[in-house]
Amino acid sequence: MHHHASRRPERRLPRAKNNLGALLDSRRQVRQKRTEMTTRLILVRHGQIEANIDHRWNGSTDNGLTGQGLEESRRVAAHLARTRPGVEAVYTSPAVRARSTATLIAAELAVPLIVAPGLAEYAIGILEGESFADLAAHEIVLDPSPRLLTLDVVEHLE
């Protein structure tokens, strides 16, 4: 009986050029899929409220927009309609100021408005309505979270 050592089947490796091409093609496909699945989140702060004018911490106190706040919201909505045509939905806190801003944006973009209770502002108890100066005088330091997109920035973007 003749016995041979077991041999692995001979495999031919593709030429290096083909390997590189296949690798680049697969990376392109992955990058394209990643791009298709990318979700962008655009954050917009509500328009001006009285507490902003008075330099008071508002917290969860539910106040509407001032006339200037409505105008700011309209301008942001128009800006987003011009520069972000792919928006699919607008999510908002249930607070009147946020809903008012978001309603104008959603209408301008012709997309659904989704009120998400989880986006509600946090309450700061007895400190709500206090001026920033009074809070600082009592050595209570709160970051009033400056606007991410101010009216000045919007004006420069137009």
CATH number of the structural domain spanning residue 79: 3.40.50.1240
Q: pTM, whole model, 2 decimals?
A: 0.63
Domain that includes residue 114, residue range: 50-157
> Is the residue at 128 inside a domain?
yes
| 147 occurs within a structural domain | yes
43 inside domain: no
Alpha carbons 144 and 89: distance in angstroms, whole number:
27
Number of domains composing the chain: 1
User: Is 11 a member of any domain?
Assistant: no
Q: Which pLDDT tens digits describe the chain residue by residue (158 residues)?
A: 555 555 555 555 445 455 666 666 666 666 666 556 678 888 898 999 888 888 887 878 888 999 999 999 999 999 999 999 889 999 999 999 999 999 999 999 999 999 999 988 877 788 777 777 877 777 665 555 554 434 444 434 44
